[in-house]
Amino acid sequence: YSNGDLSDEEYVTLKNDYTHRLAAVTRIVTGSEAASPIQKQKRYLWWVTAIVFVGISAGYAVAQFSGLRAPGEPLSGEIDRSPRNRLADAQRLFFVDDMQAARGVVEEVLRDAPGMTEALVLSAQIHERMANPLAAVRQLDEVLQTEPANIDALTLRGWILVRIDDPGVREEGVRSLDQAVSLQPDVYDPYIFRGFVARELERDFDLAIRMYEMALDRDPPDAMQPELNRIIEEMNSELDRASD
């Protein structure tokens, strides 16, 4: 397996367990498996989460794209096969949901530049999208060994782990998200993910409201803002009813 993947034994022993758990969640969200009334009530939150994840992908794509070209440099022209330019190619493929092609390109990049942080994070994103969370977390841990304050790695790592149906794994995911939030990043993603966990897993509406409000302060996409405000209003209403 490529850099960041598991050994054969780990892959067989652990991957099945984790991917089956993640697949169970996915089946419920997509409607291919019957959901309980409580799960149906939560679907709109998963919808918001999907938008957020797309936002992460789009934001990361824009950041990579702008960072890989010199000012005024056209997209077309002489072919540049440097690792950074190939990483931009992989990011574009990821953004159009061509995971197999994106993975092939990013693996080439990592063979030439094995410690390239941006490539490791993108590779982890691809693994996560392809329902291989363990490989994703392993690569994110590799990033965090050298860059413990990497917001992208902390956030994605936390978001992957909190969705695994295991209390200990979820606690580790919460710690990762807490660490990302403690760095007070200017991006909105860590606050939305932490708010989601506070509401859905911890039932801590005060914390969830605070996280969503901090996300709104960081200018999330226009399409996301009304939904976040609606969720905040719902939680405030529930808190008011509980205090009566």
Sequence-distant contacts of 155-161: CB under 8 A, at least 24 apart: 155/56, 155/180, 155/189, 155/190, 155/193, 156/56, 156/121, 156/124, 156/125, 156/128, 157/124, 158/190, 158/193, 158/194, 159/53, 159/193, 160/128, 160/133, 160/136, 161/133, 161/137
Task: Please check whether residue 206 lies inside any domain of the structure.
Answer: no
Question: What mean pLDDT value characterizes the chain?
Answer: 77
Length of the chain as a residue count: 244
Task: Please check whether residue 131 lies inside any domain of the structure.
Answer: yes
What string of DSSP letters covers 39-86? HHHHHHHHHHHHHHHHHHHHHHHHHHHHHHS-TT--SSSS---SHHHH
SS3 223: coil
Give the model confidence (pLDDT) of 86-132 as tens digits.
999 999 999 888 999 999 999 999 999 999 999 999 999 999 999 88
What is the Cα–Cα distance from 216 to 206, expressed in whole angstroms?
15
Task: Please check whether residue 164 lies inside any domain of the structure.
Answer: yes
Q: Is the pLDDT of residue 67 over 70?
A: no
User: Residue 56 maps to which CATH number?
Assistant: 1.25.40.10
Task: Please check whether residue 86 lies inside any domain of the structure.
Answer: yes
Q: Is the pLDDT of residue 6 over 90?
A: no
Task: Please check whether residue 189 lies inside any domain of the structure.
Answer: no
Task: Please check whether residue 170 lies inside any domain of the structure.
Answer: yes
Beta strands in 1-50 (DSSP E): none
Q: What is the mean pLDDT of residues 161-183?
A: 90
The answer to whether 153 and 22 have CB atoms below 8 angstroms apart is no
Give the model confidence (pLDDT) of 149-171 as tens digits.
999 999 999 999 998 878 888 88
Residue 193 CA: distances (Å) to CA of 44, 153, 190: 14, 13, 5
Task: Please check whether residue 108 lies inside any domain of the structure.
Answer: yes
Q: Is the pLDDT of residue 10 over 60?
A: no
User: How many domains, in total, are found in the chain?
Assistant: 1
- Identify the pLDDT of residue 209: 97
Range of the domain at 109: 8-181
Task: Please check whether residue 3 lies inside any domain of the structure.
Answer: no
